[in-house]
Amino acid sequence: RGTNNIKSQELISQELESMYGASFDCGIEKTGDNHVFKFYLESLSDEFLPAKEDLSKKSIEILLDIVFNPLIENGGFKAEYVEGEKNNTFKSDYVSSEKENIKVLIESKIDNKDAYAFNRCVEEMYKDKPYGLYKYGYIEDLEKITPQNLYEYYKKMISECKIDIFCSGITEN
């Protein structure tokens, strides 16, 4: 939701909009025992721009900023983003938390009966093994997550895990 350079999701969206409507997304997938975190930034090719700009370079810089320079406050991710925060008495001013977003994803897994049956089978067959873990984890574990321990885990993951970076598009000869 923010970086140390671009402080909020709103500012990231404004930056992407100024880049001819570039889009950013991220997600989690599970392949065997591995969790795969994916970060995407899609933008126009420089050759289609009305003026000479280096949008490809700017896109890569923003993507790297999001991944490697997240917004940190008090030794952790911004608490408002992890835990949520009520700005005032109006419910519409409540900022939802990433923990709440994950809880909704975990709770909604039962809505797809085939996938739910498969996931439950895998969980039972591979209890206490990485392969048996649901990709978004479990609701009971969300309480243990703090902005600080989540950031510590993120730093560990960034420093120790394999990272592949792919860029695709038209190249100049």
The string of pLDDT tens digits covering residues 37-74 is 999 999 999 888 888 889 999 999 999 999 999 999 99
Query: How would you class 111 by CB atoms within 10 Å of its CB: exposed for 0-12, middle for 13-18, buried for 19 or more?
Result: exposed
**114 has pLDDT over 80:** yes
Please tell me the total number of residues recorded for the chain in this structure.
173
Greater model confidence, 56 or 172: 56
Mean pLDDT, to the nearest integer, of 109-131? 93
Spatial contact of 28 and 135, defined as CB atoms under 8 Å apart: yes
The 3-state secondary structure of the chain reads: CCECCCCCHHHHHHHHHHCCCCEEEEEEEEECCEEEEEEEEECCCHHHCCCCCCHHHHHHHHHHHHHHCECEECCEECHHHHHCEECCCCHHHEECCHHHHHHHHHHHHHHCHHHHHHHHHHHHHCCCCHHHCCCCCCHHHHCCCCHHHHHHHHHHHHHHCCCCCCCCCCCCC
**94 has pLDDT over 60:** no
The 10s digit of each residue's pLDDT in 133-143 is 999 999 999 99
Query: Can you give the pLDDT at residue 13?
Result: 96
